[in-house]
Amino acid sequence: MATTKPRAKTTPAKSTSKSASAHRPSARKKPTALKATDRATVTAASRKVATPASSKQETVLTMLRGAKGASIAAIMKATGWQQHSIRGFFAGVVKKKLELNLVSDKVGDERLYRIAKVADRS
């Protein structure tokens, strides 16, 4: 039977060259405290709820509020969004978040979407 010697634990040699430390990721810096003027700007910006009037969301909602509504192709051209993104916007924002009544009508080969006015349910 052969016996084996226990191996001595070795530690890797430490390099003192600058090139080795250049490859190490730097430690994250701690965030610095905001100045009073910066804090006021941040809190004012976080309170802002309305989106700017020139946003793509507002463009789509304006198109949908029109009497005839809008097709997905027209919205794609106006916003640069892809078809699946528009459908997701309809489901997630228009229907769920804003709780608007989105109606689709098929006119010829094209489907038009519009926001219909809801009768008061008092």
Q: Are 105 and 112 in contact (CB under 8 A)?
A: yes
Other C-beta atoms lying within 10 Å of the C-beta of residue 81: 17
> To which H or E segment does residue 44 belong?
helix 36-47
- Structural domains of the chain ordered from first start: 56-116 (1.10.10)
Position 63, amino acid? M
Alpha helices, DSSP H, located in the chain = 18-22, 36-47, 56-65, 72-79, 83-89
Q: Can you give the pLDDT of all 122 residues of the chain as single tens digits?
A: 667 777 767 766 665 655 555 566 666 666 666 666 666 565 555 555 555 557 999 999 999 999 999 999 999 999 999 999 999 999 999 999 999 999 999 999 999 999 998 754 44
